[in-house]
């Protein structure tokens, strides 16, 4: 393929940084955007070539529009726009200050909406383009202590599907969504926190590089959604098919696996302002934690298998109007 022009919002760390490096290694021209200039410049140096750095906050529509103009002024087009910018807050809903909750939803839902608006305007004008948004497994499920993040990601999933419906008249415009499971990135340790313990990605944990490669894969071969995570589908199945079992297990598992044992005072983290990048976090797990994850997976799998067996063994007959009625 020829070299592409790729705009990356959220490029200063985590998945965005990994994707930027992967695109640059492939020979694509990259435009790097995030709130923190110092970290962006470090990523640009790692990318090499003529990487363009444009500090921008996705929650500020004017800055997103200026980012699009800067990319067009430098390169003349935008072929791919990958948005991975996000912030997070831990804590029970009632313990999270309202202004922090609102800011997380703004950054993780209205921010991507700003990006989509700017990207689609360019794509419509040039007749092609691929928009990639980063959702999350918690855009398909819910978990205690993550109400704001989950709310935003569920909304982003709805927005992405709507955009796909509204661009059906433009076959060369693609709207894709990456759905990562647990990833070793700074978002957990830099998150706002009102849960009392530093957050961490529950096992199994993927690398940011694997997710960055998935972003490139979506750019190469656009598809509606790409879920990356060994247990994503199992967890989603448990959430949808067995709500009582899921709700029974998710609280204890989140407390054991989603929060570390390192205490932390209440803090707004990087929700309102960027912080210097520190890759990774307390993602190491002892045998007890790994055992808890395995036990939870086994429990879900066992109940799922039982439910499927019972469903297969239940005879059905057709009744008036075509409705399926269980035979007694």
138: left (phi over 0), alpha (psi -120 to 50) or beta: alpha
Query: Which entry of 149, 188, 194, 246 is annotated as an active-site residue?
Result: 149
- Round to whole Å and give the CA distance between 57 and 61: 8
Q: What 3-state class would DSSP assign to 88?
A: coil
Which residues are paired to 206 by β-bridges? Answer: 183
Q: Which helix (H) or strand (E) holds 24?
A: helix 14-26
Give the tokens for residue 100: 């922090």
Give the tokens for residue 310: 């019972």
Q: Are 158 and 183 contacting, i.e. CB atoms less than 8 angstroms apart?
A: no
Which residues are paired to 9 by β-bridges? Answer: 33, 83
What would the 3-class secondary structure string for 34-75 be?
CCCHHHHHHHHHHHCCCCEECCCCCCCHHHHHHHHHHHHHHH
Give me the phi and psi of 131, to 5 degrees please: -100, 125
Give me the phi and psi of 174, to 5 degrees please: -120, 140
Q: Are 136 and 180 contacting, i.e. CB atoms less than 8 angstroms apart?
A: yes
- From the centroid of its chain, how far is CA 133? 7
Cis status of the peptide bond prior to 204, with omega within 30 of 0: yes
Q: Are 191 and 267 contacting, i.e. CB atoms less than 8 angstroms apart?
A: no
Closest by CA to 181, choosing from 219, 144, 235, 132, is 235
Tell me, yes or no, if 149 is annotated catalytic: yes
So which residues are the catalytic ones? 149
């Amino acid at each position: 393929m020829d070299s592409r022009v790729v705009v990356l919002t959220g490029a200063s760390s985590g998945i965005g940084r990994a994707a930027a490096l992967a695109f640059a290694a492939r020979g694509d021209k990259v435009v790097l955007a995030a709130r923190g200039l110092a970290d962006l410049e470090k990523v640009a140096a790692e990318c090499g070539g003529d990487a363009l750095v444009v500090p921008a906050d996705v929650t500020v529509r004017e800055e997103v529009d200026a980012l699009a103009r800067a990319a067009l002024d430098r390169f003349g087009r935008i072929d791919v726009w990958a948005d991975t910018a996000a912030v997070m807050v831990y804590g029970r809903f009632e313990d999270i200050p309202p202004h922090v909750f609102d800011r997380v939803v703004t950054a993780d839902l209205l921010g991507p909406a700003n990006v989509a608006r700017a990207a689609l305007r360019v794509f419509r004008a040039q007749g092609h383009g691929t928009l990639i948004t980063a959702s999350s497994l918690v855009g398909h499920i819910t978990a205690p202590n993550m109400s704001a993040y989950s709310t935003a990601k569920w909304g982003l999933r709805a927005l992405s599907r709507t955009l796909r419906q509204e661009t059906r008249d433009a076959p060369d415009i693609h709207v894709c969504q990456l759905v990562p499971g647990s990833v070793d990135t700074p978002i957990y340790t830099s998150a706002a926190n009102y849960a009392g313990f530093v957050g961490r990605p529950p096992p199994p944990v993927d690398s940011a590089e694997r997710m960055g490669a998935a972003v490139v894969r979506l750019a190469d071969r656009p598809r509606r959604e790409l879920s990356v995570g060994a247990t994503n589908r199992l967890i989603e199945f448990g959430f949808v098919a067995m709500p009582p079992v899921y709700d029974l297990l998710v609280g204890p598992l989140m407390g054991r696996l989603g929060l570390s044992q390192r205490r932390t005072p209440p803090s707004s983290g990087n929700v309102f302002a960027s912080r210097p990048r520190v890759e990774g976090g307390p993602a190491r797990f002892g045998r007890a934690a790994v055992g808890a994850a395995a036990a939870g997976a086994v429990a879900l799998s066992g109940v799922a298998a039982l439910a499927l067996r019972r469903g297969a063994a239940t005879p059905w007959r057709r009744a008036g109007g075509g409705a399926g009625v269980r035979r007694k």
